[in-house]
Structure 1
Amino acid sequence: MSDVRTTSRHQAGLTALYLGIFATVWFSVPAAEQPLRALLVVGSLAALLTAVAGGVLAAHTRGAGGAVRDRATDRRYLLIVVAEFAAAGLGAAVLAAAGWSGYIPVLVCAVVGLHFFPLAPLLRDPLLRPLGVALCVVAAVGLGVALASAVSAGLVVGTGAGLLLLGYAVQALVRTHRSG
């Protein structure tokens, strides 16, 4: 197997692992009644299985291609993720202090969506940009629905973000399987 293909498969495994875990988290955000609650649990289980499959793929391909880690890329990745967590954490604290904690999922989803834009070139995955746009749209829709109705922002955003992240994680595995 070529080094590029092994590196690509390893990256796809990591993508499925991380996004599967975060999809599981998003599916746990909304407080929902049955039957939606059961569907969220099914989504969460599917996301966990996807994360496990990604972890197995990543472990299986680790070091197989002989790829050398790039410390500069690792630092930029870490900086982006730290900035994402800082923005989400500080924003959540401000919203909670203002008594608007119901809008925290909207803020976090928007921040998560935005963080995919600098990650796309860094991870050499241009499809992260449409994912980022879609997550920002979900955040905006969640905000709009919460302001215009009795439906919570967390229900809209948690379900939407969970589905998007799970879908992306699954497509990363499928795309790798088709190319392998």
Structure 2
Amino acid sequence: MPTPHPNFRLRGALITGTAAVPWTMIADLGGANLPIGIASLVLTAACVGVALTLGRRPGPERTPAEGWNKTFGRVGLLELAGIGLSVAILAPTGLAQLIPTAIALVVGVHFFPLAKVFGQPQYRWTGVGMCLAAAVALVLFVANLRDPSMAVAGLGTAATLWGTSLAVSVRG
């Protein structure tokens, strides 16, 4: 009898739903900071509630790839290396405001192999959403719109993660 796998659906929904919170803190929206912070906590609580309610019910059969745990570990290490490299390059060159954009890109790219590793095709859309947020943020940065760039990197990534959490909970 095969060993049952952890409930990747529930775990994925909880991780993506809660990981959105720090991304909302990147955007400095002046007087809107408090309402955005409150909305962030409410959306996160909603994602956690939906995940705990719907993420446990049976859904589409998702079979992780052979050796999923080793591949997941490698993907995680590459993600951390990409983040570290981004910080190491951008911080000393006076481009520290691009760090969230670079991290959004690295984290977005890491979702593409995770879609296969966990048999969770929705993660491709997570990767696309985060990479798109990073691309728009980069364009705004180059256009010398630094605060909007940070807002797009932060809020675009957060929205993508909340959307992923809800999609994984609801659709499996």
TM range (shorter): 0.7 to 0.9
* Bigger helix share: 1
1:39-118 alignment runs, 5 A limit: 39-51=36-48, 53-54=50-51, 72-118=67-113
Q: CA contact under 8 A between 1:80 and 1:115: conserved in structure 2?
A: yes
Which residue, out of 20, 23, 43, partners 1:23?
Answer: 20
SS in 1 for 2:30: coil
Flag the 1:74–1:55 CA change in 2: closer, same or farther, 3 A.
farther
Q: TM-score, normalised by structure 2?
A: 0.81
Deviates more, 1:43-52 or 1:122-131: 43-52
SS in 2 for 1:97: coil
Give the corresponding residue for 2:60. Answer: none
Query: Could you report, residue by residue, the CA deviation over 1:95-154 in whole angstroms, capped at 9, with x for unpaired residues?
Result: 001111000011001001110111111110122112211211110100111221434222
Deviates more, 1:26-35 or 1:133-142: 26-35
Give the corresponding residue for 2:154. Answer: 158
Q: CA contact under 8 A between 1:50 and 1:169: conserved in structure 2?
A: yes
SS in 2 for 1:39: helix
Q: Which AA in structure 2 matches 1:163?
A: A
Gaps in structure 1 of 5+ consecutive residues = 62-68
Give the corresponding residue for 1:64. Answer: none
Give the corresponding residue for 1:174. Answer: 170
In the alignment, the residues of structure 2 paired with residue 89 and residue 53 of structure 1 have an alpha-carbon distance, to the nearest angstrom, of: 33
Gaps in structure 2 of 5+ consecutive residues = 58-63
In the alignment, the residues of structure 1 paired with residue 142 and residue 19 of structure 2 have an alpha-carbon distance, to the nearest angstrom, of: 26
Q: TM-score, normalised by structure 1?
A: 0.78
Q: CA contact under 8 A between 1:24 and 1:44: conserved in structure 2?
A: yes
Deviation at 1:44, TM superposition (A): 3.4
Q: Which AA in structure 2 matches 1:108?
A: I
Q: Runs of at least 4 residues of structure 1 off by over 6 A?
A: none
Deviates more, 1:27-36 or 1:76-85: 27-36
In the alignment, the residues of structure 2 paired with residue 86 and residue 56 of structure 1 have an alpha-carbon distance, to the nearest angstrom, of: 35
In the alignment, the residues of structure 2 paired with residue 110 and residue 76 of structure 1 have an alpha-carbon distance, to the nearest angstrom, of: 20
In the alignment, the residues of structure 1 paired with residue 71 and residue 101 of structure 2 have an alpha-carbon distance, to the nearest angstrom, of: 26
| Count of residue pairs brought into register by the alignment | 163
